[in-house]
Amino acid sequence: MDKYTSDKAPASKARSCDDIIEDSIEEKALRPKPFSGSWLRSILLTVETRGIQRVTEEERKQNTSKVWNACTFWLSANMAVATLNVGSVGGAMGLSFWDCFVIILVVNLVSCMIPAWTAGFGLTGLRMTSFSRYSFGYWGNLLVVIFSMVSTTGWNAVNSISGASVLNALSDGKCPTWLGVVIICTTVWVICALGIHWIHQLDAYLWIPPFVVWCVTAGCGASHFSGNAIKTPSGANGAASALSFVAVIFSFAVSWINCAADYNVRMPVNTSRAQIFIATYVGIAVPTILVQILGAALYTGTAVNPEWKLAFKESGIGGPLKLALEPAGGFGKFLLVLAGLSAIPNNIPNNYSFAMHAQNFGPWAARIPRIVLVTFGFVVAIIVGACAAEFFDDTLQTFLSIIGYWTIIHLVVVAEEHIIFRFRRWSNYDLESWDKPALLPFGWAAIGAFGFGFLGAALGMKTAWYTAPIAALIGTKGANIGHELTFAFSALAFPVFRYMEKRYNGGK
């Protein structure tokens, strides 16, 4: 008892109380005053400064991402005018609305599962381009880096042009497309510079405005839509158009493969992969299907209304969209602004992940601050977008097809490595060796599969500037079957090459 009731106890206790009082006074003195700039400091404190370094379990306890972020992030990214634009491509290819409807629905229901599956790879704490080193090898992964950077830059341009076309239509040509591209890309750059924490915060709500736009568009423009306005060609020509449109829809859906994991690296390790899959699938599939179908419906108006046809010719999808919203008056013009700006969340994954891709060039690239690479991607996207706007229709179809070929090879190699050679066990990955060339394969197998995959693409592709030999056999203008041949060639080649690589490269 004496130990606990000594005369030192009260003094100690008094000092403790004094400390509490002093701390309270100090806390009040330091409490942020209105307009004191504390809000700016709080933003700066949450700006992401790290690069591609693996996010450890301990680090995920701060600024932790939630499963629902995986849904709202992709809702915002796909509830965009570029999605509307892609849906209109089928009509431009000569397909009827109902044929477009079936293709959009069926292809997306299946293909959206692929990026939803790869989204779970983010639980390793690695971005997708870094994780690919386990299958492509440390040096072979440079192919992933280069094509991923090209892909994100191209999508930046395509999405920006789609949004800029709406702003161009709204201003009756007073806002040139290149200026719209600059406005959209600059806003994206600011958000991506802040980093993943603020991206998730904003994307929780950014899907709502365009959702309202598409609902009002469907209601106001429905009287101008016609399911029978366009007749699909019969026989081989109809099949050719359908196959080419399937390729476009597939390419759009799977384009997120090379970055889907990037936005889940801050989720707790014990997060259910099934929950991530469902959240991501809903976030990608639902807006993609609904908005693409609306785009197909909008295009039918150009077949029955000369004014809509002229508007589409002058301003792309923004022209018919403007006419569809005319009954809404001033509110319709406001909605057009929101539609154009929907390209901003659509481009966030591209500009943000561009920096992550670039840092995988090697240790020297990883030392470049993320903000510098985000800025570089922003500048390149503006230049490419402003130039591509002059030939947008051909650019869109060609770009979607080529990116689809590359994405299939990326998927095949990562999936076969995981299923065949890692036995679907995450414990078979040494996550600490992601940046150690000596502990990773060189990448000969992936390089070989890459070459064979593009050989298949070269035999089956159909673009605005080239029709491959096998593609030319279908219909009078040819059909795009490059994706199917790319898959077949790369899927057969990689297991053979990877077995040889492991045998002669010490099992790596």
* Amino acid (1-letter code) at residue 437: P
**pLDDT one-digit tens code per residue, 374-385:** 999 999 989 888
Can you give the pLDDT at residue 391? 65
CA neighbours closer than 13 Å in the CB half-sphere of residue 171: 15
Give the mean pLDDT of the chain. 87
Can you give the pLDDT at residue 456? 94
Mean pLDDT of 210-237: 92
Mean pLDDT of 133-157: 91
Can you give the pLDDT at residue 351? 92
Can you give the pLDDT at residue 26? 43
Q: At 368, is the pLDDT very low, low, confident or very high (cuts 50, 70, 90)?
A: very high
Can you give the pLDDT at residue 422? 93
**pLDDT one-digit tens code per residue, 91-102:** 999 999 999 999
Can you give the pLDDT at residue 38? 62
pLDDT at position 211 over 70: yes
Greater model confidence, 243 or 464:
243
pLDDT at position 462 over 60: yes
The three-point CA angle 135-138-143 to 5° equals: 80
Can you give the pLDDT at residue 28? 44
Can you give the pLDDT at residue 174? 86
Q: Which two tokens stand for residue 340?
A: 């154009």
Mean pLDDT of 309-335: 92
Q: Cα separation of 392 and 475, whole Å?
A: 25
The CA distances from residue 280 to 73, 119, 297, 303, 413, in Å, are 8, 7, 26, 36, 22
For a pLDDT cut of 90, what percent of the chain falls above it? 66
**pLDDT one-digit tens code per residue, 6-51:** 444 444 444 455 554 444 444 444 444 444 456 555 555 566 778 8
Can you give the pLDDT at residue 61? 84
Cβ neighbour number for residue 305 with a 10 Å cutoff:
17
* Cβ proximity of 163 and 81 under 8 Å: yes
Q: At 387, is the pLDDT very low, low, confident or very high (cuts 50, 70, 90)?
A: confident
Mean pLDDT of 275-303: 96
Report pTM. Answer: 0.88
Domain extent listing, the chain: 62-390
Assigned superfamily of 62-390: Hydantoin permease (1.10.4160.10)
Can you give the pLDDT at residue 324? 95
Can you give the pLDDT at residue 236? 87
Q: Cα separation of 290 and 331, whole Å?
A: 22
**pLDDT one-digit tens code per residue, 45-93:** 566 778 899 999 888 888 789 999 999 999 999 999 999 999 999 999 9
Can you give the pLDDT at residue 96? 95
Can you give the pLDDT at residue 388? 73
**pLDDT one-digit tens code per residue, 395-443:** 555 666 677 788 999 999 999 999 999 999 999 999 999 999 999 999 9
Can you give the pLDDT at residue 155? 85
Residue 428 buriedness (CB in 10 A; 0-12 / 13-18 / 19+): exposed
